[in-house]
Each structure stands twice: as structure tokens, then as C-alpha cells.
């Protein structure tokens, strides 16, 4: 992250610093924004519910399966489902795997660190020996390439970790929709507070991962590792998916001589907060899969708003993406508030100073994001 030494009052995004200090959100408060954010998060909650169930199923039942042809069926295979799968009449679980791989690649948090220590390797070795105790071919492969199967289990750990993270977020977004329907959510600050309360409530929820072979259960991520929801899945997820992301094939050259991709992962800006909504719908753009999924679960009140637009449903995926970005700035606001050194409305001058430096750091990262556009 590039540090800009400048007084907050002169910062290009100083307005948003003041908003946060007043208790407002990065997204301006308006009835239209509330409707869009709650509506899109309801659809997103339904999708995350499906994504999380599949990721956890894969982690628990498809581990050490080299060719998991039916991993998207959640153990309920049928030829009818296969036909729908081939015709793309299904939820695009590939997007969930894209997010999992981005998290694994960018790393961060104690989950990433735990996967490299001796205890994890010992846990995995027990699983490998139990799974393939009579399979001399696989045991020979393991002996010849000792990091191959452990790396597979590292990936399975991310399947499980992301699945558990999304399980919490899905429930949080669906309960937000319920509260909106009951008249309890009336403003963008209400939305942010609901998300913040949910993050705080489950902050210390343990992230664990076990597999069962025959009748014996093996710990991969034991409770003793003390991995938790907020710091070891939520924060790395925000960093990997909201901010860094990965370059989208077809929109940028992967040729090293073209210098179109930064040499350092830490300065990637391909995440959800930066993405241009217009390419959504193009081939090779992973978020397209998510937008396609969400279009099937839009609440009627939000779908009606989209139909009233200039292009009506001709650019539906673009409109969904724009609403989704608005919602992600609300989630980011909750994260900023929750991770702040001190309450952002503090009156203590020293605490205010530390908070201001903290907020300026965030604003430096938002300089090239869609923040100003979503508030346009």
C-alpha cells in the first residue's frame, strides 16, 4: 500500500473520513440505496448459503479425490441433475472456488500460517496413511512427491474455512432482509450496524476442519489451533476478494513483458471494490458467474427497479453488479469500524489522531476504487 503523507482535510477522500467519524457509511444514505443494498444482499445470502454448503461438502467428502467429477452435486447425484448441470441450469459453484483459490493465493491470517507448520503436516500425514493404507499406487505417489497430497489438503482447508465464513455471512444477510421487511432497517447506517453486530457476535467463532475415514474422525484444523471467524477468515477474505482479487483473463495481458500486472500481490487492485461493472457478462470474468446466480433470486421490489431503468433488463447483470458494489462498501464500512483502534466517534484527541491515521490508510486504498462512482 502506498502511503500518502497528507493532512486529512486535504486528502482527496477526506469527505469519507468525516462521514465515518460522524457515524455514517462509505455509501451515502438514501431510500434507493437502502432498497438496492438490502435487496441484493438477500439474493447474495441465498447464493452464499448454496456456496457454503457445497464448499463444506467438498472439504468433508471429496478430500484426497484426485478427479472429483461430481463434487458440485453435494452427494445427491442423478442423471436429471447432470442434464441440468450440462445445460448450465444450476448455481455456478465455480465462482466459490475462484474465491477460495484467491484467498489461498493471497494468504493472510493464522489459517494461512497454520498450514505451514509441523502440526498440520502431521495431521495430514495421518489422514493420507488412513485413506490410502491399502493403495500402494497412491502411497508410492506420495513418497515420490511428498508435497502433492499435503498441498491438496491445504486447499481443502480453504474450502472448509471459506465455507464456514460464508455460512455466517449468508445467515447475516438473510436476517438483514427479514429485519428490513419488518421495518427495522431504514437507513444505510442501520445496514452497517446490523453487519457490524453480526461480525462482532461471531468474531471468535472457531474455524475447525475434520474428516471421517471409515469410523474414525481426524482433525485437520483442530480447535486447539485457535483459528477464529473474524481474524482468520473474514479479514483475509476482505483483503483477497474485496481489494486484491486476481487479473481477469481477456481484459489484461499476462505477458510479463507487457507489465500490465503488478509484480507485487500486495498492490493488486482487481477486487470487488475496484471492478468496472461494464465488463460483467463477458467471457472469462469470474464475477459474471455470481451475477448470473443472483439474478435468479432477486426480490421483486429490486427486480422492478431494474426493469424501470433506461435499458430495462438488457444490462441486468451490470445493474446487479452496481448494487452489489454498493453493498460491499457497506460491508467494508462495518469492517473498518470493527477494526478501528478506537471508536470512531471518540472525543479523546489522541484517539482521534490515531483513528485519523487509520482511516487515511484505508482512504489511500480507495483512491482508485469505485467509491466515488457508487455515490454519484
228 strand-pairing partners: 206
Domain housing 75: 8-374
* 41, pLDDT greater than 50: yes
Domain membership of residue 26 (yes or no) is yes
Cα angle 114, 119, 125; round to 5: 115
Q: Give me the pLDDT at residue 184, please.
A: 97
Q: What is the pLDDT of residue 330?
A: 97
Please state at what angle helix 316-339 crosses helix 31-61, rounded to 10 degrees.
80
Does position 263 have pLDDT exceeding 50, yes or no?
A: yes
Neighbours of 64 (CB within 10 A): 19
The pLDDT tens digits of the residues spanning 54-97 come to: 999 999 999 999 999 999 999 998 999 899 888 888 999 999 99
**Residues in CB range of 197: below 8 A, 6 or more apart:** none
Asked if residue 233 has pLDDT above 70, the reply is yes
Region of 23 (left: φ > 0; alpha: ψ -120 to 50; beta: rest) is left
Cβ atoms 263, 293 nearer than 8 A: no
pTM of the model: 0.92
Average pLDDT of the chain to the nearest whole number: 92
pLDDT given for residue 85 in this prediction: 85
Q: Summarize pLDDT for 278-336 with one digit per residue, the tens.
A: 888 777 788 999 999 999 999 999 999 998 877 777 789 999 999 999 999 999 999 99
Q: Does some domain include residue 370?
A: yes
pLDDT for residue 1: 38
Nearest to 372 by CA among 37, 30, 26: 26
Q: How confident is the model at residue 7 (pLDDT cuts 50, 70, 90)?
A: low
- The answer to whether position 101 is within a domain reads yes
Q: What's the pLDDT score for residue 249?
A: 81
pLDDT band at 347 (very low <50, low <70, confident <90, very high): confident
- Is residue 2 domain-resident? no
Is residue 66 included in any domain, yes or no?
yes
The total number of structural domains that make up the chain: 1
> Could you tell me whether strands 216-221 and 209-213 are parallel, antiparallel, or unpaired per DSSP bridges?
antiparallel
Is residue 235 assigned to a domain? yes
pLDDT at 312: 77
Instruction: Identify whether 323 is part of a domain.
Output: yes
The answer on pLDDT for 167 being more than 70 is yes
C-beta pairs of 210-217 under 8 Å, 24+ apart in sequence: 210/60, 211/59, 211/60, 211/63, 211/127, 212/60, 213/127, 213/130, 213/131, 214/130, 216/130
Judged against a pLDDT cut of 90, whether residue 3 lies above it is answered with no
In a domain, 251, yes or no: yes
187-201 pLDDT per residue, tens: 999 999 999 999 999
Amino acid at each position: 500500500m502506498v502511503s500518502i503523507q497528507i493532512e486529512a482535510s486535504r486528502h482527496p477522500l477526506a469527505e469519507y473520513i468525516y462521514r465515518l467519524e460522524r457515524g455514517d457509511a462509505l455509501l451515502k444514505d438514501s431510500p434507493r440505496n437502502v432498497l438496492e443494498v438490502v435487496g441484493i444482499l438477500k439474493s447474495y445470502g441465498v447464493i452464499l448459503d448454496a456456496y457454503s454448503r457445497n464448499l463444506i461438502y467438498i472439504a468433508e467428502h471429496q478430500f484426497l479425490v484426485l478427479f472429483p467429477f461430481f463434487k458440485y452435486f453435494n452427494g445427491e447425484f442423478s442423471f436429471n441433475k447432470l442434464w441440468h448441470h450440462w445445460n448450465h441450469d444450476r448455481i455456478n459453484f465455480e465462482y466459490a472456488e475462484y474465491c477460495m483459490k484467491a484467498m489461498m493465493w493471497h494468504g493472510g491470517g493464522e489459517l494461512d500460517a497454520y498450514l505451514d507448520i509441523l502440526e498440520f503436516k502431521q495431521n495430514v500425514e495421518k489422514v493420507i496413511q488412513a485413506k490410502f493404507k491399502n493403495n500402494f499406487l497412491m502411497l508410492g505417489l506420495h513418497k515420490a512427491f511428498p508435497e502433492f497430497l499435503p498441498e491438496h489438503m491445504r486447499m481443502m482447508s480453504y474450502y472448509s474455512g471459506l465455507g464456514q465464513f460464508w455460512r455466517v455471512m449468508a445467515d447475516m444477510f438473510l436476517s438483514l432482509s427479514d429485519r428490513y421487511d419488518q421495518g427495522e432497517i431504514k437507513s444505510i447506517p442501520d445496514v452497517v450496524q446490523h453487519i457490524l453486530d453480526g461480525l462482532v457476535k461471531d468474531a471468535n467463532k472457531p474455524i475447525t476442519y475434520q474428516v471421517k475415514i471409515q469410523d474414525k474422525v481426524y482433525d485437520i484444523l483442530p480447535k486447539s489451533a485457535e483459528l477464529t471467524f473474524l481474524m482468520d477468515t473474514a479479514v483475509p477474505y476482505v483483503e483477497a476478494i474485496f481489494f486484491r482479487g486476481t487479473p481477469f483473463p481477456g481484459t489484461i495481458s499476462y505477458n510479463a513483458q507487457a507489465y500490465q500486472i503488478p509484480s507485487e500481490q500486495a498492490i493488486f487492485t482487481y477486487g470487488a471494490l475496484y471492478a468496472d461493472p461494464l465488463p460483467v457478462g463477458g467471457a472469462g470474468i469470474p464475477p459474471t458467474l455470481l451475477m448470473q446466480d443472483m439474478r435468479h433470486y432477486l426480490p421483486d421490489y429490486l427486480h422492478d427497479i431494474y426493469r424501470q431503468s433506461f435499458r430495462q433488463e438488457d444490462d441486468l447483470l451490470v445493474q446487479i453488479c452496481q448494487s452489489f458494489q454498493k453493498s460491499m462498501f457497506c460491508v467494508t464500512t462495518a469492517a473498518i469500524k470493527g477494526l478501528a483502534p478506537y471508536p470512531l466517534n471518540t472525543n479523546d484527541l489522541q484517539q482521534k489522531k490515531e483513528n485519523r491515521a487509520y482511516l487515511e490508510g484505508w482512504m489511500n486504498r480507495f483512491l482508485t476504487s469505485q467509491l466515488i462512482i457508487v455515490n454519484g
